[in-house]
Every structure is written in C-alpha cells, then in structure tokens.
Amino acid sequence: MKYNLELIHLEKNFKDVFGAYMLKDAEFDLDHYDIPFVDYRYDNCLPLKLVSYSKLGSTEADKDTFVHFYQDDYIFDGTYGIWNSLIRSNEFQKGFNFRKIEKVGGIICPDYSVYGDMPEYLKIWNVARSRTVGHYFNRLGIPAIPNVHWLGPESYGYCFAGLRKNSIYAVSTLGCLRSRNEYELFYPGLIELIKRKQPKTLIVYGTLNKKIQHILSDNNVNYLFFPSEISEAMEVKHGNESK
C-alpha cells in the first residue's frame, strides 16, 4: 500500500498552530461537539500483530503490523509527541515522523487519556485529537483504526463521537479492570458501544476475560484479541483469564 505522503506538505509561511490542515475534507459529528469522523475504508486491512509506539524501530515490523499507543501519554504526547510533531513539522527528528511508520500496515489511533477527574473540556479535546489524527492518516492512505475509551454514561456522547456505524474500532482493557469501580464502568460502556455503533470488527488489546468474551459472543461481534506485553510476560493465554 502506497501512502500519499505528498499531501503532507505545508506552506512554510503558513502558521497553522491548530493543525487545521489535518481536518481537510473531514465530516463532523454535528450532534456531538463537531468531533471529526474517522472513515476507516480498509476492511481487508486488519493487523496480525501490534507493536507499541515506543518500540517502533527497535522491533521487527511489516505490513501485517499496526502501531498502538496504549502507553502513558508522555511517551507519545508532549513537546515531541505525535500531535505537536504533526502541527509543527512532520520531520521532527526527536519525535514522530512518517519515516517511523513507513514499514507498518497502519496505526491504532492515539489513546489520549480520558480520566474521570479531568475537566470535561480536556476529555472532549483528547477524543477530538485522536479522531483528527485518524482522519488525517486515513486521508494520507495510512490505515488508522479509531480507538475508543470511555468512562460512565455521561461520557458516551463524546467518547463515541466520530465513529461510523458498522466499522472497525479498537479498545484497550489496560487500567480498566483493576477494581470493581473500573470494571463497572468498562462493561456497560462496551455493551453501549456495541449497541450504538454495531462494530463490524472490534480489536481488543490487553486482557480478554470471560465477561468480555460473553459480551462479544452474545452480541455476535467479530473481534481480534491481542494480549498486552504485561499479559504476555505473565504467560496469559488468549481468552483464558477467568475474572
């Protein structure tokens, strides 16, 4: 797959401090904060392997590999993170540049944090940033699967915004199943995501316990599971956790 990287060029004298150029040709979810839709048009392009952003370049990767951002935000965000690199220059040597992903098949959109104690506007902004990156990459011809992360029912409006129905999404269980309070937020949100968006395929990264399996099976959801590095280190096999 050839990426349309000639679209990256920006006029040198044009100071786009908001990254508005990434939203060219975007459609917006007018009912939910005008968050841009991510149009994933690569139904025949699904990952066989996932590699974390921090290990990109030090791990063997190919067109069957997608990059994920299920890591602490400081690793992929901040001064030299993917967002600022895209706004300021696509040639940031210390941070993100497109040469880093030229050998992989695509990405899972950045998992900018949506914490319960964050101000609401920051949560909405982080979802919007993730969708913006996804729209831009797909426009370049770089497959970018939207990442979905939610809190309670009050978050569904913006956390599920910018997602086309019957499409492909990715979710992570990292940090979502450590306590009763966390999984009481995760499971209902997963059910609501399925109800609202009817995913064609769901990529699950982290842990696949029996509860999640039952939810996906009961709703006839096709899914791909990738254990996290922590799970692999603990020799957790696909679908064998019983929590």
Residue 86 lies in a domain: yes
pLDDT tens across the length of the chain (243 residues) = 566 665 665 544 457 778 899 999 999 999 999 999 999 988 889 999 999 999 987 777 889 999 999 999 999 998 888 998 888 765 555 678 788 888 899 999 999 999 999 999 999 999 999 999 999 999 999 999 999 999 999 999 999 999 999 999 999 999 888 888 888 899 999 999 999 999 999 999 999 999 999 999 999 999 999 998 766 555 444 443 333
Residue 215: which CATH number?
3.40.50
Note whether 130 and 160 are same-domain residues.
Answer: no
Note whether 118 and 202 are same-domain residues.
Answer: no
Range of the domain at 62: 41-144
Q: Which residues contact 150 (CB under 8 A, 6 or more apart)?
A: 114, 156, 159, 160, 185, 189, 192, 193
Tens-digit pLDDT profile for residues 188-226: 999 999 999 999 999 999 999 999 999 999 999 999 999
Could you tell me the two tokens for 204? 């699950």
Note whether 93 and 163 are same-domain residues.
Answer: no
Could you tell me the two tokens for 175? 């940090």
Q: How many helices (H) and strands (E) does the chain have?
A: 7, 9
Could you tell me the two tokens for 59? 């791990």
Q: Choose the final residue of a domain: 104, 129, 144.
A: 144
- Torsion 135-137-139-141 (CA) sign: negative
